A and B are shown apart, each in its own frame.
Chain A
């Protein structure tokens, strides 16, 4: 039986005061909201509160007591070179992935939007890596990058280049991770852009053509502004997603060599579950949380205002 039906019935009855109804509505509201709210509270907000407490302690995950140390964990993190390197790595990774997703994703979408034969197949192929498991992809790419036997060596050799020791060289490990992550997630931004492209009204292009616009001008002045909501969406999801990248790093480099691919999430995992420093890991997680919150707020406040919604 539906609530509306009941309410209609109730409204028909004389003598029931408005106050009582309000009270009942509140109860119904609560009943609907409570399960969701409690689940969120239990699995999202409680861990957050608990973690902010953990970040003020020294604890090895096993011992029954947690020693309160105030802000020591934060002082150590911000005072040490290691964490600065981790922050740098995180921004390096996220920035490059973001740029790559937008530029390559849009390029790919424009290509896939042409009326070419077999484009549906190509679209599926482009999207396939998105749904594959990151661990499996990481393993395969580790073979591809192998400087002695890998496919990449053969490809680079064909154009006269020698292969770097991708995963054991501090300069090349991060580019390798970025290539794999981009490859895996490019299909996503391409498909989203493709949907965006197909939503642009054709009459805008016609009008541009009548005004004598070159293809580049109509791309620059029609397509790009019309795509800005799509770009906004991709910026938000890519930043949040790549900030939390874990599986590919875990399989391919485990943060190495010499911390060259240690991003925030990998760092807090290492601190927490390898070095057994739960307090330090929690502090790093809090910093990550604040960073992501800041990114989200900035995006919502400023970026959204400039986005054109047709």
Chain B
């Protein structure tokens, strides 16, 4: 069954142009992505153990996806054996209904969350707020965009598009609403200090914590969370109810497999050997303990993931959300995350968005947001063949008649002409004749049909009055081809 994802209703052209004209976002995304991708290259230098571990991690993820039918029941069994409760949600609607029901039946009023792409995917905050609950994101970047009513622009740096001045305004408004002291200035230290104090109050008064999960180990019934801020440590230990919403593709079979993969998100995402905090959750609070929740609920979410199993796209389910593919993508670096219109952005978003939703949203992504430079394929630690998948999706798009007939006809005509040397020569003669309409001061300024887009931001030299082929035919010895 296909899943559902939220989508921006604006056209690609509007989203793209908004991204290209947002100088703050472009500067910050440029800095962040360059730092992260440089960090990824440097952290593996001379670290042979983790190069080998990465290879083992790829195998572990592939096996786990293949054995999902066995591992899902095993994970549920081990979690339940430790006193946790588990749920399997087929789609976003089911997952949301489970979490809302847990909150309502337990008298929850205040909810705190860790960063989770899956909860963005299922629009959990909106559903919880609709039933009157207060929901606060505790990752600083997520908190900023929640205040701004926006979506993340980068998997690991969700507020990378916001400037300090914009953040200060958001925090001042927040302080005014709550009658508390606002940040003292717009420097990053003051803004972070404000968030620390503001969110500490939320941590201490929340009834329910919601987390995602980087990994879920079937053998031990453990959910693993990785943060640099430490907010997951508070969300998992302070509220009385804890809900972990985890995609079924996050399952690993064994504890040993976890050992091979645990450093990979930080190494490939931000260039650190390990994030500051890695939090392991294997059950609710036990007798004699004072930390941890009274109840732990694990909601495992499918939402279109099983439709990828057994297909040529199965490796996509190995994604560890490190963001390495975003950091090296030249399109992402220019337009930023919001231009994609999906929760999942960059190369992995181009592939996942149509696959998880059976092409019901944003079918333009594989065509418009990739230059097929293959940088993402080289950067992906899980060896997901993203460039190949994007090309496959372009082919699938044509098969599904999701490309306009004008574009399809243009490419067919082009392909037919260039299939033979004679056709190629005829096309050049035709273009040389036609280009006169678009020539100004010795440059081509526009072209008809599908070529028009190339000239939106650049001019091109005209087709030579005599090409090398033509010169060769005239001048080579014997004078004939």
Question: A and B from one assembly?
Answer: no
